[in-house]
Amino acid sequence: MNNSGLDNNLQTVLVVDDALANIDLLKDVLTPTYAVKIATSGELAIKIIAKQAPDIILLGVIMPGMDGHEVCKILKSNSATANIPIIFVTAMAEAHDEQVGFDLGAVDYITKPIKPALVMARVKSQLILADQQRACELIVQERTKELAKSQKDAITMLGRAGHYNDKDTGVHIWRMAQYSSALARAAQWPIEQSQLLELAAPMHDTGKIGIPDSILKAPRKLTAEEWEVMKTHAEIGYGILTVSDTPLFQMAAEVAYAHHEKWDGSGYPKGLKGEAISEAARIVMIADVFDALTMSRPYKDEWHIDKAFSILEKDAGSHFDKRLVDLFISIKVEILEIKAHWDSKSGS
Ligand SMILES: [Fe+2]
Ligand SMILES: [Fe+2]
């Protein structure tokens, strides 16, 4: 390895070869355009790359010990080094060997005898391509982050709109969302589906946007007629959320529609029974009721928290799916951890 005199501003080419004549030749060609590092064996190359990744590697194929194909395999299997472009340099011009190199993830192949102009052109174009690829990846990463944030903001807005007249809504919607995903995991839901439910759950009351304030804010018991209007928030929410056909909003629509359906068929809007009610909605119902029962109580208030659990237990089989209530109780420790986490955020 020759590290001396490397210019920090230059892109680095690592030449890996056991033939000194070859190394000298490539070094002459590439210097001073690039900072050239040398490794005289595959093993040494791996060590050098682990310390500092070069911008590109010119890799000999046949070497004593670890050969070039092996080096390439190791680098491509490690996410930290997988994107370093590798150009194989070999005397073997057989199509088969080229194919092996490409299959292993090499970007190009140079055959000996080395032609300086060709080496420079290939290295330059691969470095430009790698730069462009990095820039594209950065843009994609930024967009993905932006998109995830927009999605979360949209969920928060819809969630808050649905709980506009409630206290402590910012915390309620995300806390009950975490109870929901914890229960979904306990019910053996795949992790991605549980995560989707966590994002869908805050929107369960979106339909309350469509309920007049005179009913939503009524400081008294609702009349039978007003109660009928209030109940329409489930279908209104479904109507709003089902406009999007993405899995997230489809799940949110399903939850909004059925989050007041009860296991024994006494709920609304359809009076669905048992497993005819979507499991997502059955989960969210438990999480939402538990949070409503405990939301103004600090997690250390064991009496009220135990009372909330016993209310769920009492109504298991009538309001709630008993299997899900049992599971919810079985993950009490996790539920209280979630509650403690949010309590600390809201300062209660
Ligand atoms: Fe509701
Ligand atoms: Fe709620």
Please state, for a pLDDT cut of 70, what percent of the chain lies above it.
Answer: 95
Neighbours of 311 (CB within 10 A): 15
pLDDT confidence of residue 92: 64
CB 128 within 8 A of CB 121: no
Ligand nearest to the CA of 173: 2
Ligand nearest to the CA of 284: 2
CB 60 within 8 A of CB 19: yes
d(CA 286, CA 321): 9
pLDDT confidence of residue 347: 54
Ligand nearest to the CA of 206: 1
Ligand nearest to the CA of 205: 1
Contacting residues for 177 by C-beta, under 8 A, at least 6 apart: 197, 198, 199, 201, 202, 287
pLDDT confidence of residue 69: 93
Ligand nearest to the CA of 202: 2
Ligand 1 centroid to Cα of residue 70, in Å, is: 60
144, 145, 146, 149 alpha-carbon torsion, rounded to 10°: 120
Query: For the segment 317-341, what is each residue's pLDDT rounded down to a tens digit?
Result: 999 999 999 999 999 999 999 999 9
d(CA 250, CA 253): 5
Ligand 1 centroid to Cα of residue 185, in Å, is: 23
Query: For the segment 101-130, what is each residue's pLDDT rounded down to a tens digit?
Result: 899 999 999 988 889 999 999 999 999 999
Ligand 1 centroid to Cα of residue 255, in Å, is: 10
Ligand 1 centroid to Cα of residue 288, in Å, is: 9
Higher-scoring residue by pLDDT: 113, 249: 249
pLDDT band at 66 (very low <50, low <70, confident <90, very high): very high
d(CA 143, CA 119): 36
pLDDT confidence of residue 9: 83
User: Given 3.40.50.2300, 2.60.40.2220, 3.40.50.300, 3.30.9.10, which CATH number is that of 12-137?
Assistant: 3.40.50.2300
| Whether residue 6 has pLDDT greater than 60 | no
Residue 33 backbone phi and psi in degrees, to 5: -65, -40
Residue 107 backbone phi and psi in degrees, to 5: -95, -20
Ligand 1 centroid to Cα of residue 264, in Å, is: 18
Ligand 1 centroid to Cα of residue 259, in Å, is: 6
Query: For the segment 157-179, what is each residue's pLDDT rounded down to a tens digit?
Result: 999 888 876 666 678 899 999 99
Class at the top of the CATH hierarchy for domain 163-346: mainly alpha
Ligand 2 centroid to Cα of residue 245, in Å, is: 23
pLDDT confidence of residue 7: 56
Ligand 1 centroid to Cα of residue 145, in Å, is: 31
Please provide the size of the chain in residues: 348
d(CA 237, CA 161): 11
Higher-scoring residue by pLDDT: 261, 90: 261
Ligand nearest to the CA of 290: 2
Ligand nearest to the CA of 168: 2
Computed from CA positions of residues 222, 219, 208, 275, in that sequence, does the dihedral angle turn out positive or negative? negative
Ligand 2 centroid to Cα of residue 205, in Å, is: 6
CB 242 within 8 A of CB 250: yes
Ligand nearest to the CA of 211: 1
Mean pLDDT of 23-46: 95
Where in the chain do CATH 1.10.3210.10 domains reside? 163-346
Ligand 2 centroid to Cα of residue 166, in Å, is: 9
| CB-side neighbour CA atoms (13 Å) of 324 | 31
Mean pLDDT of 189-203: 97
pLDDT confidence of residue 335: 97
HEC profile of the chain: CCCCCCCCCCCEEEEECCCHHHHHHHHHHHCCCCEEEEECCHHHHHHHHHHCCCCEEEEECCCCCCCHHHHHHHHHCCCCCCCCCEEEEECCCCHHHHHHHHHCCCCEEEECCCCHHHHHHHHHHHHHHHHHHHHHHHHHHHHHHHHHHHHHHHHHHHHHHHCCCCCCHHHHHHHHHHHHHHHHHHCCCCHHHHHHHHHHHHHCCHHHHHCCHHHHCCCCCCCHHHHHHHHCHHHHHHHHHCCCCCHHHHHHHHHHHHCCCCCCCCCCCCCCCHHHCCHHHHHHHHHHHHHHHHCCCCCCCHHHHHHHHHHHHHCECCCECHHHHHHHHHCHHHHHHHHHHHHHHHCC
Query: For the segment 295-310, what is each residue's pLDDT rounded down to a tens digit?
Result: 877 777 888 899 999 9
Ligand nearest to the CA of 291: 2
Ligand nearest to the CA of 203: 2
Where in the chain do CATH 3.40.50.2300 domains reside? 12-137
d(CA 181, CA 197): 6
Ligand nearest to the CA of 288: 2
Average pLDDT over the chain reads 91
My answer on whether omega of the bond before 298 falls inside 30° of 0, hence cis, is no
pLDDT confidence of residue 1: 38
pLDDT confidence of residue 95: 63
pLDDT confidence of residue 23: 93
| CB-side neighbour CA atoms (13 Å) of 109 | 20
Residue 298 backbone phi and psi in degrees, to 5: -65, 155
Mean pLDDT of 30-43: 95
pLDDT band at 2 (very low <50, low <70, confident <90, very high): very low
Ligand 2 centroid to Cα of residue 10, in Å, is: 58
